[in-house]
Amino acid sequence: MACQTNSSVEVLDPIKENYDNYLLIDVGSNMVNKKFSRDLESVLQRAKDSGVQKIIVPCTSLRTSKEALRLARIYPGALYSTAGIHPHEAKSWEDCYYNELKDIAKNPECVAIGICGLDYNKDFSSPDIQRKVFEQQISLAIEMNKPIMFHQKGAHEDFLCIIKTHMPLMIPAILHSFTGSFEEATDYINLGMYIGITGMYSIMFYNMLIIKR
């Protein structure tokens, strides 16, 4: 028996059907990368067509924090920025950076402090310097009453110790690009944090089991 299909029948996408029930926000779009400079408009349009309503541009240095703020002002309501120094860049920290990041964070387009945290997997900055710069940025987030976009790789115990110290004064935060264990995720969730899961992390079967749990 041959089956006939009616090409005029619209196939409904259950995800797109429910877009109206959710505010879809991309919290990790690297718009300050030069490779996007020529087609930024089309990137934003593709995001909009896919149902993404707002995009946050995470920053890793003073330079990218300034550039992201500039872009957010060009595309108000669509792009938002952060202000922070990534642990890889911690060795570049100068005393004046606190106030410079604060000036950026004062703007309404800047919605979070970060990316900041600890990364012991790569030796771009010493652990001592990383911890110092991390604490400075937590203090800034508390002063500015802004959430934090965290980064943690291979430094769970030190990271957890630091954020527990400041947690009573912090507002909810997100752990950017999580790659840890189920136990680590549980520690963070129990502190009221959000966990960012990337496609790179979820392609491995073991990691899918962690996400499912």
- Write out the two tokens for 130: 């990383």
The secondary element (H helix, E strand) that includes residue 139 is helix 127-144
Annotated binding-site residues read 151, 176
Radius of gyration of the chain (CA): 20
- Please name every residue paired with 151 in a beta bridge, in sequence order, or none if there are none: 117
**Residues 118, 157: Cα–Cα separation, whole Å:** 10
The binding site for a divalent metal cation consists of 151, 176
CA–CA gap between residue 115 and residue 86 (Å, rounded) = 5
Helix (H) or strand (E) holding 201: helix 199-202
